Amino acid sequence: MTELYQPYRIDIVLDNECNLSCIGCIRTKNEKEKTIDYPNFVKSIIENKSEKEYQIHFTGGEPFLDFSLLTQTIKEIQSITSNRLNYSIYTNLTILNKDIIEFVKSNNIQIHTSLDGLKEENDTIRGNGTFEIITNNIKRLKRAGIEINSVTTTLKNKNINNISTKFITELENLKVKTWRLNIDYLGIEIEPNDLIDKIFTLYNFAIQHHISVEGTWLYPFHNLISDNKNGFCPATKGETISILPDGKISMCPYSDTFFGTYKTDWHDINKEFNVVKKNLSENKKCTTCIIKDYCQTQCLITREQNNPELFDWYCKVYRGLTIKLLNYHIQN
């Protein structure tokens, strides 16, 4: 059965350039195409879907490095459609000035950023002094009346041993309401059961302190209790589409699986999307797994590594966390 590809979130990677060199960064390294017509690309997606609201999400690289390109692109997109468009930016939040603050506020743009732990852990991964810069800019935005929509922390070999509830207390002090806790796509050198216990301790503490927790490891559980089980994540469910700096199109900005370019006919993009969906659904290892209908053969980025040991490691993590989450929410 052919599925109609109707994304409502459009990820735009304007540039791969970044002012940081974070350990484990998986941003794309492709060349930049200078003639991409972003407004018409957005318009072509809107014309193929009946949704009245769309999310335009800018990521990178660091979107604020070329602020003029960012503002120009948003203004051009606003000029070509009457549909309601919600804008969001994923930024390392080390670049902030009066012009950026005014533009973000006047256009009601959602801001998402990252912290990989307290000062020692974060600065080891993101660079010396970044913890202080980022936290100060979170406070600066707060004073300007701009809420941080989420802070992402990725568990890696460099911070897994030191991330603790003290960091969640720091997030609480920063008035962070949503915490995205992710696991390195390439895995961590830790036993699955130890990671499960670690994550659950952090999850439980955050919930108790009224901080909402998100993360890829929650997807199987969310699929279990929802009506939409047609994929592991929003990308594999066909809810998102990404355009990279060289014009290539994928379902996720970190994926190496492409459907064509921004010039490709929508019919052909839809066809390629269905080919990828079919390939993702075919994994004999998942046949007897008790969460196979909810995990849906895992994250696309992990699958692209073609690493059986990594896949098995993630299987144990997802299965263990899903069972633990189910028991937790039944009891509470």
| Residue 171 within a domain | yes
CATH number for the domain spanning 16: value is 3.20.20.70
Query: Which residue segment(s) compose the domain that 119 sits in?
Result: 9-331
Region of residue 231 (phi > 0: left; psi between -120 and 50: alpha; otherwise: beta): left
| Residue 319 within a domain | yes
Tokens standing for residue 104 = 């973000």
Q: For the whole model, what pTM was predicted?
A: 0.94
Residue 200 makes CB contacts below 8 A (sequence gap 6+) with 321, 324, 325, 328
Domain count, the chain: 1
pLDDT digit string, tens, across residues 65-106: 999 999 999 999 988 877 788 999 999 999 999 999 999 999
| Residue 2 within a domain | no
- SS3 of 160-175: CCCCCHHHHHHHHHCC
pLDDT at 206: 98
Residues 90 and 128: beta-carbon distance below 8 Å: no
| Residue 62 within a domain | yes
Residues 151 and 180: beta-carbon distance below 8 Å: yes
| Residue 205 within a domain | yes
| Residue 3 within a domain | no
| Residue 294 within a domain | yes
What is the rounded distance in angstroms from the CA atom of residue 59 to the CA atom of residue 123? Answer: 21
pLDDT digit string, tens, across residues 116-140: 999 999 999 999 999 999 999 999 9
